[in-house]
Amino acid sequence: MNKLTVVVAVLAAALPLLLSAAEPVADAAAGKQVFQLRCAPCHGAGRGGDPGREMLPGTDALRIKYKGALPALLEQRSDLPEPVLRVYLRHGSWSMPAFRKTELSDVDIANIAAYLALSARSSAH
């Protein structure tokens, strides 16, 4: 297990607590906009575009990673509160490189987390 995996595991364990702490300040509507511009090109539900690629690359990689144990779509994931998301985005994860503060601010990350929590809840219904 590498360092990142450990950090993510620890954070995930603290999830319920973090969720309630992170939610009130963040702006899910703003998060949706950032998600659509900066994340959806890889993590959206659209098709892969390239010949024979049925899913976008981030969605496809997570399908292969989780084999159905977790949704391939980030917008259906309820386990990515801000602290967990921040670790993934500031360190990168597998083939996804990290994002710099100049392209994705800490506020953007909090807002995306709020949006993902919301979209996961509505997709669960």
81/53 Cα distance (integer angstroms): 30
Q: How distant, in Å, are the alpha carbons of 10, 14, 29, 79 from that of 118?
A: 23, 19, 10, 11
Amino acid at position 122, single letter: S
Q: How far is the CB of 19 from other proteins (least distance, A)?
A: 22
5 lies in the binding site for other proteins (CB under 8 A): no
Q: How far is the CB of 51 from ligand HEC (least distance, A)?
A: 19
41 lies in the binding site for other proteins (CB under 8 A): yes
Closer residue to ligand HEC, CB minimum distance, 88 or 117 = 88
23 lies in the binding site for other proteins (CB under 8 A): no
> Which partner from the list other proteins, ligand HEC, none does 121 bind, CB cut-off 5 to 8 Å by kind?
none
3-state helix, strand, coil in the chain (%, to 5): 60, 0, 35
105/125 Cα distance (integer angstroms): 31
Residues in contact with other proteins by the rule CB under 8 A:
37-38, 41-42, 46-54, 56-58, 60-61, 64-65, 90-92, 94-95, 97-103
